[in-house]
Chains A and B, each alone.
Chain A
Amino acid sequence: MEQQKHRIKVQGTGVQFACGENEFILEAMQRAGCGPIYHGCFGGGCGICKMRIVSGPYFIEKKMSRAHVTEREQEGGIVLVCCVKPRGNLTIARV
Protein backbone atom coordinates (compact mmCIF):
# COMPACT_ATOMS: atom_id res chain seq x y z
CA MET A 1 0.00 0.00 0.00
CA GLU A 2 1.34 3.40 -0.91
CA GLN A 3 2.32 5.43 2.11
CA GLN A 4 0.23 8.44 3.04
CA LYS A 5 1.65 11.78 1.87
CA HIS A 6 1.60 14.93 3.97
CA ARG A 7 2.11 18.51 2.83
CA ILE A 8 4.99 20.44 4.37
CA LYS A 9 5.09 24.23 4.06
CA VAL A 10 8.20 26.25 4.79
CA GLN A 11 6.95 29.41 6.50
CA GLY A 12 7.70 32.72 4.80
CA THR A 13 9.24 31.16 1.68
CA GLY A 14 6.31 29.98 -0.44
CA VAL A 15 8.05 26.60 -0.60
CA GLN A 16 6.02 23.45 -0.07
CA PHE A 17 6.61 19.78 -0.74
CA ALA A 18 5.10 16.36 -0.14
CA CYS A 19 6.53 14.04 2.49
CA GLY A 20 5.54 10.42 3.07
CA GLU A 21 4.47 9.06 6.44
CA ASN A 22 7.64 6.95 6.55
CA GLU A 23 9.98 9.57 5.14
CA PHE A 24 12.24 11.91 7.07
CA ILE A 25 11.44 15.56 6.32
CA LEU A 26 15.00 16.26 5.14
CA GLU A 27 14.82 13.35 2.66
CA ALA A 28 11.65 14.79 1.17
CA MET A 29 13.13 18.29 1.02
CA GLN A 30 16.16 16.95 -0.79
CA ARG A 31 14.06 14.87 -3.19
CA ALA A 32 11.88 17.90 -3.96
CA GLY A 33 14.99 19.99 -4.53
CA CYS A 34 13.62 22.79 -2.41
CA GLY A 35 16.15 23.54 0.34
CA PRO A 36 16.21 25.98 2.02
CA ILE A 37 18.93 24.28 4.07
CA TYR A 38 22.08 22.32 3.46
CA HIS A 39 22.03 18.56 3.53
CA GLY A 40 24.30 17.30 6.28
CA CYS A 41 24.97 14.03 8.06
CA PHE A 42 21.37 12.67 8.06
CA GLY A 43 22.18 11.13 11.45
CA GLY A 44 21.13 13.78 13.96
CA GLY A 45 24.73 14.59 14.76
CA CYS A 46 25.84 17.63 12.79
CA GLY A 47 22.94 20.00 13.47
CA ILE A 48 22.93 21.64 10.04
CA CYS A 49 19.22 20.85 9.41
CA LYS A 50 17.94 22.53 12.59
CA MET A 51 14.42 23.92 12.03
CA ARG A 52 11.26 24.71 13.98
CA ILE A 53 7.96 22.90 13.61
CA VAL A 54 5.44 25.77 13.66
CA SER A 55 2.31 23.62 13.51
CA GLY A 56 1.15 20.10 12.83
CA PRO A 57 1.78 16.60 14.23
CA TYR A 58 5.18 14.93 13.91
CA PHE A 59 7.25 12.06 15.28
CA ILE A 60 10.92 12.24 16.31
CA GLU A 61 12.24 8.85 15.21
CA LYS A 62 16.01 9.34 15.65
CA LYS A 63 17.97 10.77 18.56
CA MET A 64 19.01 14.40 17.98
CA SER A 65 22.37 15.62 19.30
CA ARG A 66 21.93 17.65 22.49
CA ALA A 67 24.79 19.81 21.23
CA HIS A 68 22.31 21.22 18.72
CA VAL A 69 18.83 20.79 20.24
CA THR A 70 18.39 21.29 23.99
CA GLU A 71 15.48 19.67 25.84
CA ARG A 72 13.90 23.11 26.22
CA GLU A 73 14.27 23.82 22.48
CA GLN A 74 12.78 20.42 21.67
CA GLU A 75 9.73 21.23 23.83
CA GLY A 76 9.35 24.41 21.75
CA GLY A 77 9.28 22.50 18.46
CA ILE A 78 12.94 22.84 17.51
CA VAL A 79 14.13 19.72 15.69
CA LEU A 80 16.71 18.36 13.29
CA VAL A 81 14.52 17.55 10.29
CA CYS A 82 16.70 14.55 9.34
CA CYS A 83 15.31 12.82 12.46
CA VAL A 84 11.63 13.73 12.11
CA LYS A 85 8.71 12.21 10.17
CA PRO A 86 5.36 13.92 9.63
CA ARG A 87 2.10 12.60 11.08
CA GLY A 88 -0.02 15.17 9.24
CA ASN A 89 0.39 18.40 7.29
CA LEU A 90 3.14 20.59 8.77
CA THR A 91 4.37 24.14 8.68
CA ILE A 92 8.07 24.44 9.42
CA ALA A 93 10.43 27.42 9.64
CA ARG A 94 14.12 28.16 9.52
CA VAL A 95 15.78 29.06 12.81
Chain B
Amino acid sequence: MGFKGTLRPGLVQLRVLDLGKTLDFYKNVLGLNEVCRTGDGRVCLKGYDEFDHHSLTLRLADEAGLDYVAFKVGCPDELERMKQDVEAFGYPVDTVEAESDQPGFGKRYGFTISTGHRFEIYSEVKLAEQGPMIKNPDIWTTPPRGMRAQRMDHFLLYGPNIAEAERFCREVFGMFVPEVCNTPDGNRLAAWITGSNKPHDLAFVEYPKPGKIHHLGFYLQDWSDVGNAADLIAINHLKLDIGPTRHAITRGLSIYFWEPSGNRIEIYAGGYTAYPDNPQRVWDSDQLGRGLFYYSGEVIPSFLEIVT
Protein backbone atom coordinates (compact mmCIF):
# COMPACT_ATOMS: atom_id res chain seq x y z
CA MET B 1 0.00 0.00 0.00
CA GLY B 2 1.45 3.33 -1.06
CA PHE B 3 -0.21 5.61 1.46
CA LYS B 4 1.51 6.25 4.79
CA GLY B 5 -1.50 6.89 7.07
CA THR B 6 -5.05 7.70 6.08
CA LEU B 7 -6.35 6.48 2.73
CA ARG B 8 -9.03 9.14 2.31
CA PRO B 9 -11.90 10.97 3.97
CA GLY B 10 -14.52 8.24 3.72
CA LEU B 11 -17.54 9.39 5.68
CA VAL B 12 -19.26 12.67 6.52
CA GLN B 13 -22.36 13.14 8.67
CA LEU B 14 -24.20 16.37 7.87
CA ARG B 15 -27.12 18.03 9.65
CA VAL B 16 -30.06 19.09 7.50
CA LEU B 17 -33.14 21.21 8.27
CA ASP B 18 -35.54 19.62 5.76
CA LEU B 19 -34.77 15.96 5.16
CA GLY B 20 -37.23 15.42 2.31
CA LYS B 21 -36.19 18.36 0.14
CA THR B 22 -32.52 17.99 0.95
CA LEU B 23 -32.47 14.24 0.28
CA ASP B 24 -34.19 14.87 -3.06
CA PHE B 25 -31.32 17.22 -3.92
CA TYR B 26 -28.59 14.73 -3.00
CA LYS B 27 -30.27 11.87 -4.88
CA ASN B 28 -31.87 13.41 -7.91
CA VAL B 29 -29.79 16.54 -8.53
CA LEU B 30 -26.30 15.71 -7.22
CA GLY B 31 -26.81 12.08 -8.27
CA LEU B 32 -25.90 10.10 -5.15
CA ASN B 33 -27.56 6.74 -4.46
CA GLU B 34 -29.52 6.08 -1.27
CA VAL B 35 -27.98 3.05 0.46
CA CYS B 36 -30.10 2.64 3.58
CA ARG B 37 -31.86 4.37 6.47
CA THR B 38 -31.01 3.99 10.14
CA GLY B 39 -33.46 3.20 12.95
CA ASP B 40 -33.36 6.85 14.04
CA GLY B 41 -34.24 8.15 10.59
CA ARG B 42 -30.86 9.16 9.18
CA VAL B 43 -30.21 8.48 5.49
CA CYS B 44 -26.99 6.93 4.13
CA LEU B 45 -25.82 7.79 0.61
CA LYS B 46 -22.92 7.10 -1.74
CA GLY B 47 -21.60 8.15 -5.13
CA TYR B 48 -22.03 5.67 -7.98
CA ASP B 49 -18.25 5.23 -8.33
CA GLU B 50 -17.55 4.55 -4.63
CA PHE B 51 -16.88 1.00 -3.41
CA ASP B 52 -17.47 1.40 0.34
CA HIS B 53 -20.88 1.04 2.01
CA HIS B 54 -21.69 4.75 2.12
CA SER B 55 -19.87 8.08 2.34
CA LEU B 56 -22.53 10.57 3.45
CA THR B 57 -25.12 10.40 6.21
CA LEU B 58 -27.84 13.05 6.54
CA ARG B 59 -29.32 13.74 9.97
CA LEU B 60 -32.45 15.85 10.47
CA ALA B 61 -31.63 18.55 13.04
CA ASP B 62 -32.50 22.07 14.15
CA GLU B 63 -29.20 23.42 12.79
CA ALA B 64 -27.44 22.87 9.49
CA GLY B 65 -23.74 21.96 9.54
CA LEU B 66 -21.31 19.18 10.26
CA ASP B 67 -21.56 16.41 12.86
CA TYR B 68 -18.23 14.78 12.01
CA VAL B 69 -15.88 13.55 9.32
CA ALA B 70 -14.23 10.12 9.31
CA PHE B 71 -11.02 8.97 7.62
CA LYS B 72 -10.29 5.43 6.46
CA VAL B 73 -6.93 3.87 7.28
CA GLY B 74 -5.39 0.82 5.62
CA CYS B 75 -5.79 -1.98 8.19
CA PRO B 76 -6.77 -2.69 11.82
CA ASP B 77 -3.13 -2.63 13.02
CA GLU B 78 -2.67 0.81 11.48
CA LEU B 79 -5.92 1.92 13.15
CA GLU B 80 -4.64 0.89 16.60
CA ARG B 81 -1.27 2.52 15.99
CA MET B 82 -2.94 5.73 14.85
CA LYS B 83 -5.27 5.73 17.89
CA GLN B 84 -2.18 5.68 20.13
CA ASP B 85 -0.63 8.49 18.08
CA VAL B 86 -3.79 10.60 18.50
CA GLU B 87 -3.62 10.14 22.26
CA ALA B 88 0.11 10.88 22.29
CA PHE B 89 -0.63 14.08 20.35
CA GLY B 90 -2.89 15.06 23.26
CA TYR B 91 -6.46 14.44 22.11
CA PRO B 92 -8.67 12.13 24.25
CA VAL B 93 -10.13 9.30 22.13
CA ASP B 94 -13.54 7.61 22.39
CA THR B 95 -14.71 4.43 20.69
CA VAL B 96 -17.78 3.96 18.48
CA GLU B 97 -18.55 0.24 18.30
CA ALA B 98 -18.82 -1.57 14.98
CA GLU B 99 -22.25 -1.64 13.31
CA SER B 100 -23.67 0.77 15.89
CA ASP B 101 -24.73 4.11 14.43
CA GLN B 102 -23.27 3.77 10.90
CA PRO B 103 -24.47 0.64 9.07
CA GLY B 104 -21.65 -1.35 7.46
CA PHE B 105 -18.87 0.39 9.39
CA GLY B 106 -16.46 -1.31 11.77
CA LYS B 107 -15.12 0.19 14.99
CA ARG B 108 -14.34 3.91 14.84
CA TYR B 109 -12.21 6.04 17.10
CA GLY B 110 -13.28 9.66 17.59
CA PHE B 111 -11.65 12.81 18.97
CA THR B 112 -11.90 16.59 18.69
CA ILE B 113 -9.07 18.57 17.09
CA SER B 114 -7.97 22.15 17.74
CA THR B 115 -10.46 23.65 15.30
CA GLY B 116 -13.38 22.13 17.23
CA HIS B 117 -14.22 19.49 14.64
CA ARG B 118 -14.87 15.87 15.54
CA PHE B 119 -12.64 13.58 13.49
CA GLU B 120 -13.00 9.81 13.40
CA ILE B 121 -10.79 7.02 12.03
CA TYR B 122 -11.76 3.49 10.97
CA SER B 123 -10.25 0.69 8.94
CA GLU B 124 -13.12 -1.74 8.33
CA VAL B 125 -16.21 -1.03 6.26
CA LYS B 126 -18.34 -3.36 4.15
CA LEU B 127 -18.34 -2.96 0.41
CA ALA B 128 -21.54 -1.52 -1.00
CA GLU B 129 -23.97 -3.88 -2.70
CA GLN B 130 -24.09 -1.54 -5.69
CA GLY B 131 -20.48 -0.58 -6.26
CA PRO B 132 -18.43 -0.13 -9.44
CA MET B 133 -17.89 -3.25 -11.57
CA ILE B 134 -14.52 -4.99 -11.13
CA LYS B 135 -14.51 -7.83 -13.68
CA ASN B 136 -13.94 -6.48 -17.19
CA PRO B 137 -15.64 -3.41 -15.84
CA ASP B 138 -17.89 -1.04 -17.70
CA ILE B 139 -17.68 2.59 -16.61
CA TRP B 140 -20.99 2.32 -14.75
CA THR B 141 -23.77 -0.17 -14.18
CA THR B 142 -26.72 2.22 -14.36
CA PRO B 143 -26.57 5.66 -16.01
CA PRO B 144 -25.44 8.33 -13.52
CA ARG B 145 -28.15 10.87 -12.63
CA GLY B 146 -28.20 14.64 -12.40
CA MET B 147 -24.78 16.18 -11.78
CA ARG B 148 -23.25 12.68 -12.01
CA ALA B 149 -21.18 13.06 -8.82
CA GLN B 150 -18.71 10.17 -8.79
CA ARG B 151 -17.65 10.34 -5.16
CA MET B 152 -17.21 12.49 -2.09
CA ASP B 153 -13.90 14.30 -2.52
CA HIS B 154 -12.93 16.75 0.23
CA PHE B 155 -14.15 19.38 2.72
CA LEU B 156 -13.08 22.84 3.86
CA LEU B 157 -13.31 23.38 7.62
CA TYR B 158 -13.30 26.72 9.46
CA GLY B 159 -12.06 26.98 13.05
CA PRO B 160 -9.40 28.33 15.40
CA ASN B 161 -5.74 27.27 15.54
CA ILE B 162 -5.40 25.66 12.14
CA ALA B 163 -1.62 25.57 12.62
CA GLU B 164 -2.14 22.81 15.20
CA ALA B 165 -4.70 21.05 12.98
CA GLU B 166 -2.23 21.08 10.10
CA ARG B 167 0.52 19.68 12.34
CA PHE B 168 -1.90 16.98 13.54
CA CYS B 169 -2.70 15.92 9.98
CA ARG B 170 1.00 15.68 9.13
CA GLU B 171 2.24 13.99 12.29
CA VAL B 172 -0.65 11.63 13.08
CA PHE B 173 -2.48 11.10 9.77
CA GLY B 174 0.76 10.96 7.72
CA MET B 175 -0.57 13.63 5.35
CA PHE B 176 1.34 16.38 3.54
CA VAL B 177 0.46 19.98 2.70
CA PRO B 178 0.77 20.78 -1.03
CA GLU B 179 -0.45 24.37 -0.74
CA VAL B 180 -0.80 27.08 1.92
CA CYS B 181 -1.81 30.75 2.28
CA ASN B 182 -0.09 33.04 4.79
CA THR B 183 -0.93 36.48 6.23
CA PRO B 184 1.64 39.31 5.86
CA ASP B 185 2.89 38.62 9.40
CA GLY B 186 3.60 35.03 8.45
CA ASN B 187 0.65 33.30 10.12
CA ARG B 188 -1.29 30.55 8.44
CA LEU B 189 -4.60 31.73 6.95
CA ALA B 190 -5.39 28.53 5.04
CA ALA B 191 -3.91 25.10 4.32
CA TRP B 192 -4.75 22.44 1.72
CA ILE B 193 -3.85 18.99 3.06
CA THR B 194 -3.80 15.50 1.54
CA GLY B 195 -2.96 11.90 2.31
CA SER B 196 -3.17 10.86 -1.32
CA ASN B 197 -2.44 12.14 -4.84
CA LYS B 198 -5.47 14.43 -4.67
CA PRO B 199 -4.47 18.08 -4.17
CA HIS B 200 -6.60 18.10 -1.01
CA ASP B 201 -8.42 15.58 1.12
CA LEU B 202 -9.32 18.46 3.41
CA ALA B 203 -8.52 22.13 3.91
CA PHE B 204 -8.63 24.56 6.83
CA VAL B 205 -9.23 28.30 7.09
CA GLU B 206 -8.43 30.17 10.33
CA TYR B 207 -11.70 31.37 11.91
CA PRO B 208 -12.64 32.35 15.48
CA LYS B 209 -15.73 30.12 15.82
CA PRO B 210 -15.03 26.38 16.22
CA GLY B 211 -16.47 23.44 14.30
CA LYS B 212 -17.72 25.17 11.16
CA ILE B 213 -17.88 23.73 7.65
CA HIS B 214 -17.46 25.94 4.59
CA HIS B 215 -18.25 23.28 2.00
CA LEU B 216 -18.38 19.61 1.19
CA GLY B 217 -16.87 18.76 -2.21
CA PHE B 218 -17.95 16.07 -4.66
CA TYR B 219 -15.94 14.94 -7.66
CA LEU B 220 -17.20 15.21 -11.23
CA GLN B 221 -15.53 13.69 -14.27
CA ASP B 222 -14.57 16.79 -16.22
CA TRP B 223 -15.32 20.36 -17.30
CA SER B 224 -18.32 19.29 -19.40
CA ASP B 225 -19.90 17.76 -16.30
CA VAL B 226 -19.23 21.03 -14.45
CA GLY B 227 -21.23 22.79 -17.19
CA ASN B 228 -24.01 20.22 -16.85
CA ALA B 229 -24.04 20.88 -13.09
CA ALA B 230 -24.36 24.62 -13.70
CA ASP B 231 -27.43 23.97 -15.85
CA LEU B 232 -28.95 21.84 -13.09
CA ILE B 233 -28.32 24.56 -10.49
CA ALA B 234 -30.30 26.99 -12.65
CA ILE B 235 -33.07 24.54 -13.59
CA ASN B 236 -33.60 23.52 -9.97
CA HIS B 237 -33.41 27.12 -8.61
CA LEU B 238 -30.54 26.22 -6.29
CA LYS B 239 -28.72 29.20 -4.82
CA LEU B 240 -25.39 29.75 -6.55
CA ASP B 241 -22.44 31.16 -4.62
CA ILE B 242 -19.84 31.33 -7.41
CA GLY B 243 -18.81 29.57 -10.60
CA PRO B 244 -18.32 27.80 -12.90
CA THR B 245 -14.72 28.87 -12.37
CA ARG B 246 -11.17 27.61 -12.01
CA HIS B 247 -9.09 27.56 -8.86
CA ALA B 248 -5.42 28.37 -9.19
CA ILE B 249 -5.11 26.72 -5.77
CA THR B 250 -5.47 22.95 -6.45
CA ARG B 251 -6.22 23.86 -10.14
CA GLY B 252 -9.72 22.48 -9.71
CA LEU B 253 -12.71 23.30 -11.94
CA SER B 254 -15.50 24.28 -9.66
CA ILE B 255 -18.94 25.59 -8.74
CA TYR B 256 -20.10 26.49 -5.22
CA PHE B 257 -23.78 26.54 -4.33
CA TRP B 258 -26.07 25.77 -1.41
CA GLU B 259 -28.20 22.67 -0.97
CA PRO B 260 -31.76 23.18 0.35
CA SER B 261 -30.71 23.08 4.04
CA GLY B 262 -28.04 25.73 3.58
CA ASN B 263 -24.91 23.59 3.57
CA ARG B 264 -22.53 24.80 0.86
CA ILE B 265 -21.60 22.19 -1.76
CA GLU B 266 -18.73 22.29 -4.23
CA ILE B 267 -18.69 20.24 -7.37
CA TYR B 268 -15.11 19.81 -8.42
CA ALA B 269 -13.22 18.30 -11.36
CA GLY B 270 -9.58 18.11 -12.36
CA GLY B 271 -6.93 19.35 -9.96
CA TYR B 272 -3.21 18.65 -10.09
CA THR B 273 -1.53 15.43 -9.01
CA ALA B 274 0.09 15.89 -5.61
CA TYR B 275 3.28 14.13 -4.48
CA PRO B 276 4.75 14.39 -0.97
CA ASP B 277 8.23 15.20 -2.29
CA ASN B 278 7.07 18.18 -4.42
CA PRO B 279 7.86 21.69 -3.12
CA GLN B 280 5.00 23.40 -1.29
CA ARG B 281 3.06 26.11 -3.17
CA VAL B 282 2.73 29.29 -1.09
CA TRP B 283 0.15 32.09 -1.52
CA ASP B 284 0.28 35.55 0.03
CA SER B 285 -3.11 36.48 1.49
CA ASP B 286 -3.34 39.58 -0.74
CA GLN B 287 -3.24 37.24 -3.76
CA LEU B 288 -5.94 34.93 -2.43
CA GLY B 289 -8.58 36.26 -4.85
CA ARG B 290 -6.53 35.05 -7.80
CA GLY B 291 -5.75 31.81 -5.99
CA LEU B 292 -9.39 31.01 -5.33
CA PHE B 293 -11.07 32.39 -8.46
CA TYR B 294 -8.45 32.48 -11.17
CA TYR B 295 -10.57 34.07 -13.89
CA SER B 296 -12.02 37.04 -11.97
CA GLY B 297 -9.19 37.33 -9.45
CA GLU B 298 -11.65 38.62 -6.87
CA VAL B 299 -13.06 37.08 -3.73
CA ILE B 300 -16.77 37.63 -3.12
CA PRO B 301 -17.77 38.38 0.51
CA SER B 302 -20.30 35.53 0.72
CA PHE B 303 -17.59 33.00 -0.09
CA LEU B 304 -15.33 34.06 2.75
CA GLU B 305 -17.95 34.83 5.37
CA ILE B 306 -20.76 32.29 5.14
CA VAL B 307 -20.28 28.95 6.90
CA THR B 308 -22.58 26.47 8.65
Q: Of B262, B301, B302, B305, which is within 8 A of A45 by CB?
A: B262
Min distance, Cβ A52 to any Cβ of chain B, angstroms: 20
The docked-state distance in angstroms from the alpha carbon of A43 to that of B260 is 5
A42 contacts B by Cβ under 8 Å: yes
Nearest CB to that of B262 among chain A residues?
A45
Query: Is A31 an interface residue, CB under 8 A from the partner?
Result: no
Q: Which residue of A lies closest to B62 (CB)?
A: A66
Which residue in A39, A42, A65 is a CB contact (below 8 Å) of B64? A65
Is B33 engaged at the interface, CB distance under 8 Å to the other chain?
A: no
Query: For chain A residues 13-67, which have a beta carbon within 8 Å of chain B?
Result: 38-46, 48, 62-67
Contact of B262 among A38, A39, A65, A66 (CB under 8 A): A65
Query: Given that A41-B239, A41-B258 are known contacts, is A48 also in contact with B306, CB under 8 Å in the complex?
Result: yes
Contacts of B264 in A (CB 8 A): 41, 46
The SS class assigned to the B binding surface is: loop
* CB of A38 to closest CB in B, whole Å: 6
In contact, B63 and A46 (Cβ under 8 angstroms): no
B260: chain A residues within 8 A (beta carbon): 43
Asked whether any CB of chain A lies closer than 8 Å to the CB of B13, the reply is: no
Asked if B248 is at the interface (CB within 8 A of a chain A CB), the reply is no
Complex interface bits, B62-104 against A, C-beta within 8 A gives 1, otherwise 0:
1111000000000000000000000000000000000000000
Chain B residues within 8 Å of A, Cβ to Cβ: 17-18, 62-65, 239, 258-264, 301-302, 305-308
A38-B305, A63-B18, A65-B64 given; name 11 further pairs at CB < 8 Å: A38-B301, A41-B64, A41-B239, A41-B264, A43-B17, A43-B18, A44-B17, A44-B261, A45-B63, A46-B307, A65-B65
- 14 A-B pairs with CB atoms under 8 Å apart are A40-B302, A42-B262, A43-B258, A43-B263, A44-B261, A45-B17, A45-B64, A45-B258, A45-B261, A45-B262, A46-B264, A62-B17, A65-B17, A67-B64
